[in-house]
Each structure stands twice: as C-alpha cells, then as structure tokens.
Amino acid sequence: MKLWNAIRPSERNLRVWQLGLLAAVFGLWHVLTKPGLVPPIVFDNERQAAFFFGEPVLIFGRIWAWFVVNADIYQHLWVTLVETVLAFAIGTLLGLACGLWLALSPMAARILDPYIKALNSMPRVILAPIFAVWFGLGIASKVALGVTLVFFIVFFNVYQGVKEVSPVVLANARMLGADARALLRHVYLPSATSWVFSSLHTSVGLAFVGAVVGEYLGSSRGVGYLILQAEGAFDINTVMAGILVLTAFALVLDALVGRIERRLMKWQPRTGETEKL
C-alpha cells in the first residue's frame, strides 16, 4: 500500500507516468512485430506483422539516419513546417476576423449562414487538386488547403465565444460609458479568447494535414513527399518514421500554443486551482 501511494499518479510524477506509458506502447509494438518473440496468432506468417506495422527499432534507426547520420531531412522538414505555420497563422487570423465580424453583425450572419454551413460541410481535402491548378505545385497550394482546414474551426469558436457574452456584462459596460471599440477590446475579445485557444489546439494538427496532403498531390520536397515515396516502395518503416516525426513537431507547436495561452490567460484559474475551490 505504501509503495502504491509513493508511485501513484500525481502532479509530481505525471511526466514519469506519461513517458512510462509511451515506453510500454513501443515495447509492446516491438514484441508483437519482432519475428520469433511471440507465436503468430493473427497473421499466418510471423513477418506479416512487421510488414504491415513496421519494427520500432528500424523506425527509430531511420529517424536517427534522417537527423544525424545522413542529416537529409532538414530541408524537407523545413518546407513542411513553413507550410504548416503559414496555414495555421493565416487561417487563425481570418477565422478570428470573420468570427468577430459576423458575431457583431447579426444581419450579415443571417444572410451568410447557409453559405457558411455549406462550405463547412464540404470535405475540404478534395479541394487540394483545385488549389494545385490555381496556385501551382509550390508552397501556396499547400498553405491554401491548410487555411481552409484551420479557418472554420477558429471561426465557429470565435463566433460562439462572442455570442456567449453575458447581456448583463454588456449592459454594465455600456452604463460605464464603454463605446464600440472599448466593448470589443475589454468584453468581446476576452470572452472569445478561451474559445480561440481551445480551437487552436485542434487546428495545429489540421494545419499539418493540409501541408502533407498537398505534398501528396504534387511536391518534390517535404515530409509528406518522403512518406509518399516510401509508400510507393512498400517501406512501412520509413512511412511510420515520417508519421512519428510529424506527430512530434505537431506536439511541439501545440506546446507553444499552450505556453502563449498561459501567458495571455493568467486570469483564468487552472484545473487544480478550480478543484481546490
């Protein structure tokens, strides 16, 4: 009992538990795909599991070669990151501006409502070939696709955040002499901020999706291009290595968003503080 109390999950050892779970996942993956370690249960041939899912040792070997031995991934990674960051930034700014505008303009929102819903319901990944024709096979087509994926998530969250402003707060602010600019700065934007950051954590992954899908359609550089080449050669280890690299950098970008969120929203109590209250 004392041992469990010492190692049970808590704020002090949270990172240890997270890393331990990750190590357990890769350990199980290694055991299930390494020929001879377990009897074939699902697959007829013991090599089939490794063929379909890859082998963690070889996957990490490929990542090591990319970053250290050959050091040939940096140009591809730079292209993908530039496409992702641009799509993320442009989509966020457009979503924020349009969300504020329509939330504060009820008649314009009612006019555009069916068109916005129609565009949002469209599977936007199918726009990739059209953007390739419009903007070419360079960076612009990948950014355009990423913007369409990020925009609507931010837009709807900002729109809802502004609409959720308490009428009592608005009435009190107007009684104190706040004009339209003061209301936007001190009431509407703070109300929408938490909704914006909630959407940004989701938008990070979608920005990467836009960049990689665009690279699939036509590109000579980028991590998506490396994955596509590996798929053509049935090299599952390189495919999984590319996926892990993209996932790692998506987590880094999400962590940066989280740090900015904590700086701008110091007034908001954290989960632990809320529980104490």
Q: How far apart are CA 210 and CA 142, in angstroms?
A: 6
Burial class (CB in 10 A: 0-12, 13-18, 19+), 71: exposed
* One domain, residues 44 and 101: no
The per-residue pLDDT for range 125-178, each reduced to its tens digit, is 888 888 888 888 888 888 998 899 899 888 888 888 777 776 776 677 777 666
The boundaries of the domain holding residue 104 are 71-276
Query: What pLDDT is stored for residue 275 in this prediction?
Result: 47
Q: What CATH number corresponds to the domain at position 138?
A: 1.10.3720.10
Instruction: Compute how many other C-beta atoms are within 10 angstroms of the C-beta atom of residue 67.
Output: 14
* Region of poorest pLDDT, from 27-31, 128-132, 162-166, 223-227: 162-166
- The pTM assigned to this predicted structure is 0.77
The per-residue pLDDT for range 37-61, each reduced to its tens digit, is 555 555 555 556 666 777 888 888 8
Query: What pLDDT is stored for residue 123 in this prediction?
Result: 82
* One domain, residues 133 and 86: yes
Asked if residue 59 belongs to a domain, the reply is no
* One domain, residues 168 and 251: yes
Asked if residue 58 belongs to a domain, the reply is no
* One domain, residues 45 and 79: no
Residue 247 pLDDT grade (very low, low, confident, very high; cuts 50, 70, 90) = confident
Asked if residue 60 belongs to a domain, the reply is no
* One domain, residues 85 and 186: yes
* One domain, residues 149 and 200: yes
Structure-derived torsion over alpha carbons of residues 255, 94, 202, 29, reported in degrees to the nearest 10: -80
The per-residue pLDDT for range 70-109, each reduced to its tens digit, is 888 888 889 888 988 999 999 989 988 888 888 888 888 8
* One domain, residues 160 and 238: yes
Domain count, the chain: 2
Residue 220 pLDDT grade (very low, low, confident, very high; cuts 50, 70, 90) = confident
Give me the chain's average pLDDT, please: 79
* One domain, residues 107 and 225: yes
